[in-house]
Amino acid sequence: MSVPEPFGQRLRQSWARSDSALCVGLDPVRERLPSHLAQAPDPLFHFCREIVEATADLVCAFKPNIAFFNAEGAEGDLKRLIDHIHTAHPGVPVIIDAKRGDVGSTASMYARELFERYNTDAATVNPWLGWDSIAPFAEHEGRGVVVLCHTSNPSSAWLQEEPRGDPAYLKVAREMQSRDADNLALVVGATFPEQLAEVRRAAPTLPFLVPGVGAQGGGADELRQIFASGVDESGQGIVVNASRSIIYAGTGKAYAAASRQAAMGLRDQIRRARDRQQSD
Task: Examine the residue annotation and report whether 63 is marked as an active-site residue of this protein.
Answer: no
C-alpha 115/C-alpha 109 separation (Å) is 10
**By rule CB under 8 A, what count of residues binds its own copies?**
50
Span of 43-51, 80-88, 102-110, 261-269 interacting with its own copies by CB under 8 A: 102-110
CB of 51 to its own copies, least distance (A): 17
| Residue with smaller CB distance to its own copies, 2 or 158 | 158
Does position 198 interact with its own copies (CB under 8 A)? The reply is: no
Annotate each residue in 116-155 with x if it binds its own copies (CB under 8 A) or - if it does not, as one string.
Answer: -x--------xxxxxxxx--------------x--x-xxx
**Which residues neighbour 16 within 8 Å (Cβ) at sequence distance 6 or greater?**
none
Cβ neighbours of residue 132 closer than 8 Å, sequence gap 6 or more: 103, 104, 107
- Cβ 273 to its own copies, closest distance in Å? 25
| Interior angle at CA 255, CA 227 and CA 27, nearest 5 | 60
Which residues 6+ apart lie within 8 Å of 244 measured at CB? Answer: 25, 27, 214, 215
Query: In 3-state terms, the chain is what percent helix, strand and coil (to 5)?
Result: 50, 15, 30
If one asks whether residue 157 binds its own copies (CB under 8 A), the answer comes out as yes
- Residues constituting the chain: 280
CA dist 99 to 17, 42, 50, 203, Å? 28, 25, 26, 20
Cβ proximity to its own copies, 127 vs 142, nearer residue: 127
What radius of gyration, in Å, describes the C-alpha atoms of the chain?
18
Is position 38 an interface residue for its own copies (rule: CB under 8 A)?
no
Is there binding between residue 91 and its own copies (CB under 8 A)?
Answer: no
In the complex, least distance from residue 109 CB atom to its own copies, rounded to whole angstroms: 4
Nearest distance, CB of residue 175 and its own copies, angstroms: 8
Active site residues: 99
Enumerate binding residues for its own copies (CB under 8 A): 27, 29, 65, 67-68, 70-71, 73, 75, 97, 99-107, 109-110, 112-113, 117, 126-133, 148, 151, 153-160, 162-163, 166, 168, 171-172, 175, 244
